[in-house]
Amino acid sequence: MNKELKYVVNNSEYVSINYNNLDSFIDDLGETNYVHWSKSLNLNLDEKEWILLSFIIESMNFCFWKKPKWKIKYNDEILTGSNAIFFSIISCVENNTSFLNINYLDKIDKESFYSILKGVEGEIPLIEERYNCFKEVINYIKNNDFYSELFSIKSDLELLKYITDKFKYFDDKSVYKNHLIHFNKRATLLVNDLYQVSGTIRNNIGNVNNLGGCADYGIPRTFRDYGILVYNEELKKIVDNEIEIPHDSNMEIEIRANMLYVIELIKDKLKEKEIIINSVELDNLIWLMGKKMSNRSNSHHTVTIFY
């Protein structure tokens, strides 16, 4: 078990874990089949284009809870949140054969970027920050021996470190009671994306079984609704009344770390049932499970570029 997470769990003041409710949650989890998003797209891309697409998507994949909800229209369907950012980019790829050319991307200025994310209702939050994250990715890929570096990496943890070292906006970490806690939610998603879309990377690193889950807003809410994560009275009032929790605060760190710890507990329990699944796959299944639930409680609200 991750020592950083264990430290937070053992010292949490605002969040606790009810271990008695894990088994009933697992009973409701359902099928553990995992399908990556790339498998649902009909795109004729080469390996480097898939890699570039993954970097672009994950560079902007954060913080969608603000109201009024930002909405886009894609193929006559109204989409919000991470689906909206995803299909905003996919639409560009489908309609512009030059979009995944690094020189074309390098010329995208703020005005052009803003037009890409213009919705049919509301405005996407933190658009300036998303632009900066996007430009960081494009600038590094264009001005360095990027693909040679990427294709020389031999493990999932080495790839994770490469991403967080080279791209500061992916370096998701916090200090909790004088201990450094690494979350790296978007970087973890990106490592998994690269493993799924690139045959070279998949052959080089072999698997993504050393990665943890992806600490966000949705899964803590699902665990709370199942009585697995328990908030104390102070935190409960803050979350239920949609009061913003500061990024890097002890409250936020405890929510995220306890959530990741529970994912590892569930993974271990599934292994006892001879169901083998890695943390990223399990995270995705729990996230989808939560999306299907009705009468959900509030998620915590934190303004951040990291999830």
The per-residue pLDDT for range 294-307, each reduced to its tens digit, is: 889 999 999 999 99
pLDDT score of 30 more than 90 = no
- H/E stretch holding 202: helix 199-205
In a domain, 302, yes or no: no
Burial of 112 (0-12, 13-18, 19+ CB in 10 A): exposed
In a domain, 213, yes or no: yes
SS3 79: strand
In a domain, 303, yes or no: no
Please check whether residue 231 is in contact with residue 155, taking contact to mean a CB–CB distance below 8 angstroms: no
Dihedrals phi, psi of 219, to nearest 5 degrees: -70, -40
SS3 78: strand
Count of domains in the chain?
A: 1
Rounded Cα distance between 303 and 307, Å, is 9
In a domain, 185, yes or no: yes
pLDDT on residue 235: 98
pLDDT band per the 50, 70, 90 thresholds, residue 1: confident
In a domain, 67, yes or no: yes
pLDDT on residue 95: 96
In a domain, 305, yes or no: no
- Spell out the residues 6+ positions from residue 26 whose beta carbon is closer than 8 angstroms to its own: 266, 269, 270, 273
Domain containing 148 equals: 3-33+44-292
Rounded Cα distance between 215 and 185, Å, is 6
The dihedral built from the CA positions of residue 239, 245, 250 and 253, taken in this order, carries a sign that is: positive
Matching residue, tokens 């809870």 = 65
In a domain, 307, yes or no: no
In a domain, 136, yes or no: yes
User: What tens digit of pLDDT does each residue of 156-199 get?
Assistant: 999 999 999 999 999 999 999 999 999 999 999 999 999 999 99
